[in-house]
Amino acid sequence: MDLSKWLVMTQLWLETCWLIPVYGLLGAIASLPWSVGLIRRTGPRPAVYINIFMTLVALVHGGLIFRGIWNQGGHEIAITWFQAADLKLILTFDLSVINLGAVELIAGLSLLAQLFALGYLEKDWSLARFFSMMGFFEAAMSGVIMSSSLFFTYALLEMLTLSTYLLVGFWYAQPLVVTAARDAFLTKRIGDALLLMGVVALSALAGSLNFNDLYEWVKTEDLSPWLATLLGLALIAGPIGKCAQFPLHLWLDEAMEGPNPASILRNSVVVTCGAYVLIRLQPIVVLSPIALGTLVVVGSITAVGASLVALAQIDLKRTLSYSTSAYLGLVFIAVGTEWPGVALMILLTHAVTKALLFMGVGAIILTTSCQNVTELGGLGRKMPATTLAYGVGALGMVGLLPLGCFWGYRLGIDFLWSEHPELVAIFLLVNLLTALNLTRVFRLVFLGEAQPKTRRAPEVAWPMALPMVTLTVFTLLVPLVMQKLYLLPPWAYVNQPALVMLILSGGLGVGIGATVPLSKVLIRSMSRPVRLLQDLLAYDFYTERLYRVTVVGLVRALAIASDWCDRYIVDGLVNSVGFASLLGGESLKYSISGQSQGYLFTIVAGVSLLGLLMTWTMW
C-alpha cells in the first residue's frame, strides 16, 4: 500500500473513532433476544460469540487508530450529535497515544475476561445476560477514556455506575448479593452527586465543559480561595467514590459478591477509569491547595489502611480488592503532589497484574468451589498454570525488577525523594505489605498439604487457561512494551538509593511472608491483644459500624424527627383547619332562616366590621 492510500485509510479510522465505544454497546443490544429469553432454542452461546466478536473488532479498530496517532500525533474529533434551533450538542473525542493505549488495554483485558467468562460461567442459566452487561461495561469504559468533554464523561461515569450495579447483582436470587449491589450503587452515588455539583459550577464559571477549553480557562481565571476549594473538593469526590478511596471504599469489598470475570475488569480497568478522570481534572484541581492536600491525605490513609486490612482477610477475592484500593491510594498521592505521569504509570501496570491475579483466583474458586484461604492448600502441584499465573501476577505487583509495577514505584519514589520523604515511606510500606500479603496467600493456597476441598482439583479447561496463560506472558513482556513506548528512563537518571530501598522493601515483605507462622491456630489467636488487632483489621477498622453510629444514626434521627413533625405539626395544623371549617359549617347551618332581610343584615354587619377594622389599622 502506497503512502497516499495509507493516509486515506488512517483518516478513515480516525473519523470513525466514535465506533470504538459503540461496538460494545451494539454487542449488548444484539444479545438482548437471548438475554431476555426471546430466543431459547439455540442456547445463550450466540450472544457470547456476538460480544466477543464486537470486542475483537474494537481491539483491532483501536490498534489501527493507535498506529496512525503514533505516526501523526494527537487529534481531536468533533461530531455533531444533536442540533435544534440554538441547541447544539457535539461529541468530542480526544485521540492521543495515552488515550488510545488505555482504550487498547481496556479492549484487550475485556476480550480476555470474556473468554475467561465463557469457561467460568459455562453452566450458568443467564450467560447471555452476563455478556450483555459486559458489553455495556466495555462501552462505558472506552467512552470515558476517549471523551474530551466533562459533560459526556460524567454521563458515561453514570453509565459505568449502573453497569457495576447490574454486574454485582448478577446473581440476584441471593439476598447478600442484592445488598452488595445496592450498597455499591448508593456509595458511588454519593461521590457522583458531589461531582455533578462541581460539573454544574464549572459550566457556569468557565462557560464550557470541553477539557481543552477548561485548561485554557484555568490559566487566566482567578477564583477566590473558598470557591476554588469547594470546586476542587466537589470534582475529586466522584473519583474518590469510583476508586474506592476512604471513606467511600467499602463498596469494592462488597462488590466481590458478583461473578469473578466481572471482578477481573472491576479491579483492573474500571477503577482505572475513575482515576483517569481525576488525572484529567488535575489541572483544575490545582487551583485549590486544600483539594490537593485532601487527595494526598485520602490516598495515604487508603494506601496504608487497605494494605493492613488485606493482611487480615481470609477471602481470596477480598484480600485482592483491598490491595486495589491501596494501589489507587498511591495514584491519589501522585495526583495530589502534581505528578500525573507517576499516576498513569501505576495505573497501567497495576491493571495488567491485577487482572492476572483475579484470573488465577477465579480458576481456584471454580475448581474448588471455595474462596476461604484457610480451607485451601496444596494446589501448586495440581494446578500448574494457575500457580504460574498467580506467581507472575504477584511478582508483577511487587516492586521487583524488571516487572511492570516496579517502574511505577520507582518513578513515584524518584519524584518524591527530595520534597516528600514521608510519602516515599508510604510507597515503600505499601510495597512491603503487598509483598507480605501476596506471599501469605501463596503459601496458604498453593503450598502445604492438600485439604479436603483441594484433593481433587484439576487444572481449568482451555477457555479459562488460554486467556490466563496469554495474560501471564503479556505481564512478563510489559517491560519490553514500555521500552518500545519510551516509558522507561535511561539508567543514568535512576536514583540508586531509591532503587535499592525499593528492592529491599519488596524482598523484606516476601521474606516475612515466607517465614511467618501461618498455622490455622494463628488464624484466630488465643491471645486477646493479638485477637483484638486481628478483629480491628478484619473488620476494616470497624468503618461500617462507625458509619452506623454516625451517618446512618444521624439520618435515622432526622427521619424520626421529620416523621414526628409531619404527623403532629403539619398534619395537626391541616386537620385543625379542616375541623374548624367543618365545625363552622355545621354550626352555621342552624342559623339559616330563609328570610332575605336576615341575609342582608348579615352582609351589612360584616362589611361594616371589615371597614372599622381597616380604618383602625390605618389609624
pLDDT in tens, 374-414: 888 888 888 889 999 999 999 988 878 788 788 888 888 88
pLDDT at residue 414 in the model: 87
Helix, strand, coil abundance in the chain, percent, nearest 5: 80, 5, 20
Q: Is the pLDDT of residue 521 over 50?
A: no
Q: What is the mean pLDDT of residues 407-429?
A: 88
Find the mean pLDDT for residues 179-205.
Answer: 88
pLDDT score at 523: 59
Higher pLDDT, 521 or 170: 170
> How many CA atoms lie within 13 Å of 196's alpha carbon, on the beta-carbon side?
10
Residue with cell 493482611: 311
Backbone CA torsion sign across 25, 31, 37, 38: positive
- For the cut 90, the answer to whether the pLDDT of residue 532 exceeds it is no
pLDDT of residue 86: 65
Q: What is the pLDDT of residue 405?
A: 84
CA distance 569 to 528: 52
Span 145-167, average pLDDT: 88
Note whether 20 and 145 are within 8 A (CB). Answer: no
Out of 46-55, 74-83, 99-108, which region has the weakest mean confidence (pLDDT)? 74-83
> How far lies 502's CA from each of 301, 414, 498, in Å?
20, 11, 6
Angstrom distances, CA of residue 595 to CA of 25, 460, 592, 600, 602: 79, 100, 8, 9, 11
Q: Which three cell numbers stand for residue 276?
A: 483517569
What share of the chain has pLDDT > 70, as a percent?
A: 93
Neighbouring C-beta atoms of residue 465, cutoff 10 Å: 19
Please provide the average confidence, as pLDDT, over all residues in the chain: 85
Region of 223 please: left (phi>0), alpha (psi -120 to 50) or beta.
beta
Q: What percent of the chain has pLDDT over 90?
A: 17
Distance (Å, whole) CA 528 – CA 534? 10
Q: What is the band of 589 on the pLDDT scale with cuts at 50, 70, 90?
A: low
Maximum separation of any 2 CA atoms in the chain, in Å: 113
Cα 252 to chain center, whole Å?
8
Give how far Cα 604 sits from Cα of 153, 591, 597, 599, Å. 70, 17, 10, 9
pLDDT one-digit tens code per residue, 214-242? 888 888 877 888 998 999 999 999 899 88
What pLDDT does residue 565 have?
A: 87
Grid coordinates representing 451? 485439604
Q: Are 442 and 376 in contact (CB under 8 A)?
A: no
For cell 460469540, the residue is 49
**Does 520 score more than 60 pLDDT?**
no
Name the band, by pLDDT with cuts 50, 70 and 90, for residue 497: confident
> CA 607 to CA 603: how far, in whole Å?
6
pLDDT-derived band of residue 358, with 50, 70 and 90 as boundaries? Answer: very high
**What's the Cα-to-Cα distance from 607 to each of 591, 597, 602, 610, 614, rounded to whole Å?**
19, 15, 9, 5, 11
CA atoms within 13 A on the CB side of 388: 14
Task: State the cell numbers at 391.
Answer: 506467581
CB-based contact 410:399 (threshold 8 Å): yes
Q: What's the pTM value of the predicted model, to 2 decimals?
A: 0.87
Question: Amino acid identity, residue 360?
Answer: G
* β-bridge pairing 87-95 and 75-84: antiparallel
Q: Which residues, including other chains, have CB under 8 Å from residue 434's CB and lie 6 or more apart?
A: 307, 310, 323, 326, 327, 397, 398, 509
How far is the first Cα of the chain from the last one, in angstroms, to the nearest whole number? 100
Q: Does residue 370 contact residue 330 with C-beta atoms inside 8 Å?
A: no
DSSP element (H, E) containing 522:
none
Query: Which residue is associated with the grid cell 442456547?
Result: 43
391: three-class secondary structure by DSSP? helix
Q: Kindly list the domain boundaries of the chain, sorted by start residue.
A: 1-148, 532-567
pLDDT band at 428 (very low <50, low <70, confident <90, very high): very high
| Confidence band, pLDDT 50/70/90 cuts, at residue 116 | very high
The better pLDDT of the pair 148, 603 is held by: 148
The pLDDT of residue 301: 92
At 602, the amino acid letter reads: T
3-state secondary structure of 89: strand
Closest CA to 164 of 241, 247, 245: 241
Distances (CA, A) of 363 to 303, 353, 359, 369: 28, 16, 6, 10
The three cell numbers locating residue 351:
491493571
In this predicted structure, what is the pLDDT of residue 90? Answer: 75
The four Cα atoms 305, 306, 309, 313 give a dihedral, to 10 degrees, of 180
**One-letter amino acid identity for 279?**
I
Q: Place 467 in a pLDDT band, splitting at 50, 70 and 90.
A: very high
Identify the three-state secondary structure at position 562.
helix
Contact 501, 412 (CB under 8 A): no
Structure confidence at residue 605 as a pLDDT band (50, 70, 90): confident
Output the nine-digit C-alpha cell for 307.
494494605
pLDDT at 330: 92
pLDDT digits (tens, 9 = 90+) for 265-319: 888 888 888 889 999 999 898 888 999 999 999 999 999 999 999 888 888 888 8
* Sign of torsion over alpha carbons 507, 511, 514, 517: negative
